[in-house]
Amino acid sequence: MDLMEYQGKQLYRRLGIPTTPEGRIAATPDEAERAAREAGGPVVVKAQVLTGGRGKAGGVKLASDPVRAREAAERILGLDIKGHAVEQVLIEPASAIAEEYYLSILHDRVSKGYKVICSVEGGVDIEEVNRSRPERVCKRDIDPTKGLDDATATQIVTQAGFAEEIRPDVAAFILGLYSGFVACDATLFEVNPLVLTQDSQIVALDAKVSIDDNALFRQPDLAGMNRRGSGDSLEARAKAQGLQYVKLEGDVGVLGNGAGLVMATLDVVAQAGGRPANFLDVGGGADAGKMAASLALVLSDKRVRSVLVNIFGGITRGDLVAEGVLGALGKLGDLPQKLVVRLDGTNADQGRRILREAAHPSIVPAEKMLDAARQAVAFAKESQ
């Protein structure tokens, strides 16, 4: 789960990590003007989208008074930043920046641990700094079972090249960020820039936060955070129903049991010359209720012109899946789309017989995967 900057900063404040003074969210120029008036002095108006590079895209503007804040909000709201529409801006008291640095903590799959990355060159594209001046970027693997101690934090700031007088403050910031990162099951805490303000404070000016979805059960405060703008709403609905759903660009709905099988199904749809509309893993024990919920979800995508249901029975029994599909169609009513249902594995014969005998006008039973995909793709093309 990714957080917007303002949510990331809320979290930092809760975790005791120093950040910029609290701002307000605005969805209209009016609200932005009001928020700036309440803030008092100069403010910064910042697009809230789940992508970086807002500054370069014109999504971050300083405003010296409420009227200028309103004008900035007018320009920023509705911007498209790398495919993300800006629906909200954060209005924050402007910070007086002396220097910008870079700091992040992340899960590192290579070392199977955490990694701290730190540089005195921040506010800019860290990948670029890493390419052209790798010696300016300090990367340190941290063993999660041992944690991060004072001595290591001091080594990091020294190696990164911080001026001696601010090393203790930056090291303290890193230690605080690390404790917070661990406490909330984060996979990424990126602070770019970490700034030294003109009154010598070290604070997070930006916050990019990702939380491990698998840990949300023990992070109820985070799970409850407003997910607005964090992806396709069908994905949010699927998640609430315990289904694994990812929206794709095509028009052939795909539904299967097991992530591997669903991925293979996407491949055969492509092989048959079609484009999948989604990835949907019904998971184990695809009973009638789950089938109904899954089909309803796939069909609620208006771009879906046909559906390929691909179930391999193991513990899941083909006859129950067939009944589930029929039950689901009973609830959904008449459909404009055809459903090609390929059953294999436990009780597949029985399942296919049940489907044939039901002779539902929308259902086409199939035995082989590629053949099923070809039919589904042909139906999608016919209905264009």
- Report the partner that residue 54 touches, choosing among ligand GDP, Mn ion, none (CB closer than 5 to 8 A by kind): ligand GDP
Burial 262-288 (b: 16+ CB within 10 A, else e): beebbebbeebebebbbbbbbbeebbb
Please report which helix (H) or strand (E) contains residue 101, including its range: strand 97-108
Binding segment for Mn ion (CB under 5 A), chosen from 124-132, 204-212, 317-325, 346-354, is 204-212
- Would you count residue 94 as binding ligand GDP (CB under 6 A)? yes
Which residue, 9 or 290, has its beta carbon nearer to ligand GDP? Answer: 9
Paired sense of beta strands 89-93 and 43-47, if any: antiparallel
Catalytic residue among 6, 12, 101, 102: 102
Question: Which position among 33, 190, 235, 323 bears the catalytic label?
Answer: 190
- Write out the H or E segment, with its range, that includes residue 100: strand 97-108
102 is catalytic: yes
CB 310 within 8 A of CB 372: yes
Contact 327, 355 (CB under 8 A): no
- Site pattern 150..189 for ligand GDP (x: CB under 6 A): ----------------------------------------
Among positions 10, 192, 310, 337, the unique one binding Mn ion when judged by CB under 5 A: 192
Give the interface segment with Mn ion, choosing from 103-111, 156-164, 185-193, 268-276 (CB under 5 A): 185-193
Active-site residue flag, 190: yes
Q: Please list every residue from 101 through 140 that binds ligand GDP, using CB under 6 A.
A: 123
What does 262-300 look like in DSSP terms, one character per residue?
HHHHHHHHHHTT--BSEEEE--SS--HHHHHHHHHHHHT
204 contributes a contact to ligand GDP by CB under 6 A = no
Position of minimal CB gap to Mn ion: 206
In the block, tokens 């503007």 appear at 61
The only residue of 99, 206, 235, 344 in contact with Mn ion, by rule CB under 5 A:
206
> Which tokens go with 185?
């099951």
- Please report, as a single letter, which amino acid is at residue 356: R
Q: Given the rule CB under 6 A, which of 49-57, 249-257, 350-358, 375-383 is the region that contacts ligand GDP? A: 49-57
- CB of 23 within 8 A of CB of 92? yes
Position 317 contacts ligand GDP (CB under 6 A): no
First to last CA, the chain: 36
Tell me the C-alpha distance between 307 and 298, whole Å: 8
Q: Which stretch binds ligand GDP (CB under 6 A): 44-52, 127-135, 212-220, 276-284?
A: 44-52
- Residues binding ligand GDP (CB under 6 A): 44, 46, 52-55, 60, 62, 94-95, 97, 100, 123, 192-193, 205-206
Catalytic (active-site) positions: 102, 190
- Residues binding Mn ion (CB under 5 A): 192, 206
